[in-house]
Structure 1
């Protein structure tokens, strides 16, 4: 559960666990007022070759957005490494990103190597491998460090090729299957009085989007993230929609 500081605007809320052992997944709620940087993440093999613990694949579920909101995912055309590097240096990469119109309920899986950016005026839930590895390619002139050499080496220099998914609250469906990624994600619609979640010995990351209930007697509400294990008592008090994630 997260309680925002009084009088402060919050751009990201992270849900992780304190302690020496990091969880395999990290959940964030992201709220944008301007375009975020154009960036890319390595996969596990690429990250370990660079001396890092692991790579990062992530997914986005749009909670709310302005009517003209967009996500940048992949490129509008295939590029050579040389043309890609030049576009990142001179800023023309902004015109080579495919900016996709989005609406609440849209879901995108961002494979490692996918050049991407989150546009302005979007609220989304992000579920990702718990790795702090981002190669920033372009930042609209803001004075932050760029990682052009590392980013060029891991980027897929082509359009995004995975079909978009749309899932409204009230539906139950798989958004990301175990064979597609290191983790699976489902949108679940749970009826009042129902307490069945797909527990099979694995912990679940439970993100309530609508409705109320309790976990081990503690109330949950939208905008939170709970880690649920076998034996936890989940009670659904009103019809509830939630994103549910598990490690594959």
Structure 2
């Protein structure tokens, strides 16, 4: 190859690389995630019929909308897992997540057609020692509640460990529980160790630690898919349960805030910035519209029942549409 031909080829390759770089710069960064789903015996069909979750499972009890947990990962449009995306995109979670050894958050939609078990989740310390994964602090945002719906949230008064064990044995535990009427828009923060149960007729969005450790205390004598009573975890529950009423929390204007997540409900059109400190997760709870990134100029249609992940550093974005309501989570 002579010098002139080499120079011509070099210029063409530079042009192709430049064009490729332009497309990379202006490629939309926001990702729509597809959930893993669960068919626990207490679930209903609202996640399918009202939130557009696609699954062949019946009932459709839970959709894990933002998850790296091996028990139920979320997926990208190309079929890869959310964890695989994180592994190949260093920095996408933001500087606030550098202190965690794994992705800190798991977000779900939950449809309780029947009562869930009365249960508790352990602290990090207990779970790491006994279960080899982290404990679970969580929050619920009530999306739907049938008239008269309620949930269990801690105790009405402080009780001893001995009384707790006796009430479990003689089936009087619910007499000491704090039964709270619920309505659409209510929010509950549930630190690890808090006894709780979602009851029938409620749909919630749950933001929680990235954990799947649950200790069942009472399950109404129900049988599992194998025809046997579902497993209870009484010794563990006696170890970890806070036997007291829930404490009031001040989240400084947020729905919930802890080391693992900060959650806000955003209604209508809004503009926001996803900076280098944290990713942004958006669960679209109502309505439909468009998400537009300022830096790329790219847009994505959005609707009720979708989960969107904006990598840290995405920059400014705008959400516009009709009757929109989103649950926004950051670290």
Q: TM-score, normalised by structure 2?
A: 0.65
Unaligned residue ranges in structure 2 (runs of 5+):
1-33, 36-52, 68-73, 75-80, 88-101, 223-228, 293-297
Is 1:126 matched with 2:206?
yes
Residue-by-residue CA offset, 1:30-88 (whole Å, 9 max, x unaligned): 11111100000111112122242211000000001101000100011211111101212
Is 1:242 matched with 2:326?
yes
Residue-by-residue CA offset, 1:154-177 (whole Å, 9 max, x unaligned): 100011122699xxxxxxx51123
Does the 8 A contact of 1:107 with 1:164 survive in 2? no
- Taking the aligned partners of 1:151 and 1:71, their CA distance within structure 2 comes to 19
Q: Give 1 or 2: higher strand fraction.
A: 1
Tell me the equivalent position of 2:264. Answer: 186
Tell me the equivalent position of 1:4. Answer: 54
Is 1:83 matched with 2:172?
no
Q: Secondary structure at the match of 1:195?
A: strand
Q: Secondary structure at the match of 2:126?
A: helix
Q: TM-score, normalised by structure 1?
A: 0.86
Is 1:31 matched with 2:31?
no
Is 1:160 matched with 2:246?
yes
Tell me the equivalent position of 1:170. Answer: none
Specify whether residues 7 and 93 from structure 1 end up closer, same or farther in structure 2 by C-alpha distance, changes over 3 A only.
closer
The structure number with the bigger radius of gyration is 2
Does the 8 A contact of 1:57 with 1:181 survive in 2? no
Tell me the equivalent position of 2:220. Answer: 140
Does the 8 A contact of 1:217 with 1:233 survive in 2? no
Name the count of aligned residue pairs: 236
Tell me the equivalent position of 2:134. Answer: 54
Cα RMSD, aligned residues only: 2.4
Q: CA deviation at 1:233?
A: 7.3
Does the 8 A contact of 2:272 with 2:316 survive in 1? no
Tell me the equivalent position of 1:219. Answer: 301
Specify whether residues 181 and 119 from structure 1 end up closer, same or farther in structure 2 by C-alpha distance, changes over 3 A only.
farther
Question: 4+ residue stretches of structure 1 with deviation over 6 A?
Answer: none
Q: Give 1 or 2: higher helix fraction.
A: 2
